[in-house]
Amino acid sequence: MTILVTGSRGRVGTTLIGLLHEQGYKVRAASSDPDELTLPDGVPDVKLSLAEPHTFRDALAGVDSVFLYANPSHIDEFIKTATDAGVQHVVLLSSSAVLNPDAKNDPIARQHLEVEEALASSALPCTFLRPSAFATNTLYWSWPLRTTGTVSLPYPGAHTDAIHESDIAEAAVAVLKDPALRGGGYTLTGAESFTFAEQIGLLARATGRPLTYDAVTPEAWKAQMADYLPDSFADGLLAYWRSHDGRPVELAAGVDVLTGHPPRPFAVWAAENAAAFLQ
């Protein structure tokens, strides 16, 4: 079985490639810029940009299963090319945001939902992995925490569950390996619900530094992020955080079901990545 992994420069993709390779699977690493990849010996790379349909055919040739990042721009062309190539299974890295009642009006949820709907209406067997907030999102705080020890938070009391990328990758391995687990969707969450303020405290403990936060207005935070986030995405994040301000996130059993172990606590991720927050 040959497995194509898209998004191979990302933390989840990189971890997944390593796990599949260690277990003896034939894995092909796909990226829009293959020259930037660092891969285990014996893992071939291939150019694949989900925004460029002309790259689909060569990347999918001889592939049995695909681990797919959610990009709706040319999903119909991707599905057709994958079907013509004989792909037997697609595992989509979706988002738990698609489960929100207003997902179609949420710019972050919508792109995942559009890909899910396109795959579900096709003849391709597919499985949806729906993780919540990635622990790696915390790296967006690395520069201000590293340089000033402080980060601006519009809703320091908002809850998150910050799932470890290794838990997502191990869940993907499980559904890629075991036909009995295929089909439908799995919600993947972290080990615990905690506030952003508590998350800063966990990073401080991991780094041994007195890290803290400044509580700012949503408008001030949005202005700070104007060069990095489109307005619609910033508004979507603010709305999500506001809805969870003082409200714990509901945890799901997807990681336990697929991997056979509970999710890794955020403190584990913080210890593994402490260097990113050190001066």
234-270 per-position pLDDT tens digit: 998 999 999 999 999 999 999 999 999 999 999 999 9
Specify the DSSP element, H or E, that contains 127.
strand 126-131
Domain covering 134-163+190-249+264-279: architecture: 3-Layer(aba) Sandwich (3.40)
Q: 184 is written with which tokens?
A: 């439908």
Instruction: Give 93's strand partners.
Output: 69, 129
Percentage of the chain modeled with pLDDT above 70: 100
Note the helical H segments in 129-195.
142-147, 165-177
Percentage of the chain modeled with pLDDT above 90: 93
CA distances from 191 to 3, 205, 206, 252, 266 (A): 29, 18, 17, 9, 7
Q: Residue 31's CB: how many other CB atoms inside 10 A?
A: 22
Alpha-carbon distance of 214 to 212, in angstroms, equals: 7
Q: What is the model's pTM? A: 0.95
Instruction: Give 4's strand partners.
Output: 28, 66
Of residues 36, 31, 34, the one with CA closest to residue 50:
31
Of residues 90, 101, 100, 156, the one with CA closest to residue 129:
90
- Mean pLDDT, rounded, for 10-34: 96
**pLDDT for 279:** 77
Contact call for residues 188 and 132 (beta carbons, < 8 A):
yes
Residue 62: strand, helix, or coil:
coil
**pLDDT for 102:** 87
Domain covering 2-131: architecture: 3-Layer(aba) Sandwich (3.40)
Q: pLDDT tens, 58-81? A: 999 999 999 999 999 999 999 999
**pLDDT for 238:** 94
Alpha-carbon distance of 138 to 277, in angstroms, equals: 10
Of residues 25, 230, 266, the one with CA closest to residue 111:
230
b/e per residue, 254-264, with b = 16+ CB within 10 A? bbeebbeeebb
What are the boundaries of each domain within the chain?
Answer: 2-131, 134-163+190-249+264-279
- Mean pLDDT, rounded, for 152-181: 97
Does pLDDT of 133 surpass 80?
yes
Instruction: Give 152's strand partners.
Output: 214
Q: pLDDT tens, 83-94? A: 999 999 999 999
Do 2-131 and 134-163+190-249+264-279 fold alike per CATH?
yes
Burial tier of 77 (Cβ tally within 10 Å: 0-12, 13-18, 19+): middle
Contact call for residues 94 and 115 (beta carbons, < 8 A):
yes
